[in-house]
Structure 1
């Protein structure tokens, strides 16, 4: 039977079941070794990871040809303006490719936000801003590379949603079976 798990990955956890280099892994949270992540988040990112025991569903969730939107909440250093958001919306040229257009908007700090351990680095004289980015692709460290390319480095990155599924109501380190 095809099953799907929604997991709120904490900061510092790697998206694999095999432990590595002092990081916690999915094995520390998910007691089902027959499940695999449909896509990944790097250890420095938090938020929604979908896991399934069905290879076809895993492919449908993670393969770019299905264009499943992924919504990220991004805290950046500085205060992006409308021309900066327009660059993100048009696609950003990185060293090895140009990103597809993204939906990009400023947002208030999420009211349901949990504390991060360790906390992000704040600089006294530099403001931070929250943005929402919606991508239909997901290359390695893409959001961080995009914000750096428009000169607003990412301080905190949370994947809030993948398609219809969100991390809403799931605390860091917790999971929920939805099918």
Structure 2
């Protein structure tokens, strides 16, 4: 529960308290950030030796976003119980709710995009490698319209409703948007 030292500009570690009375992060001799606990007993974020972010809990007890060593996005819940957005290595990750009501990541380790439902319950489109939007079938079995390269709203042929009709190479997580 005590404040931990940090690495000052001189290269020496010094303990200190901030204006708020809370502990501040510090750097170890390796140059990597070390974890510490504030006066409230809550954990603050830090970087591990690998440079990857580790999970932590804020003062409210709510989970904050983090990145795993694999580079895949991990889910978390905000104060309201709703899913919060998070960003992956590509900068394109978005949140969604699974059937159980829990947050689930949609970027798979394989790099392929998975269909998902937004907080509104509506299906969202995604973009393929060609830059054109591709349709997909939502959990309800209905498809959302999408915009093609021309920018005009297009209808989706029934035969194209299933993701299984699309080449796997055209699933691009970096271009996925919530629409």
TM-score by length of 1: 0.28
Computing the radius of gyration over CA atoms, which structure comes out larger, 1 or 2?
A: 2
Higher percent of residues as strand: 1
TM-score by length of 2: 0.28
Specify which structure has the bigger relative contact order, considering alpha-carbon pairs within 8 angstroms and separated by 6 or more residues.
1
Higher percent of residues as helix: 1
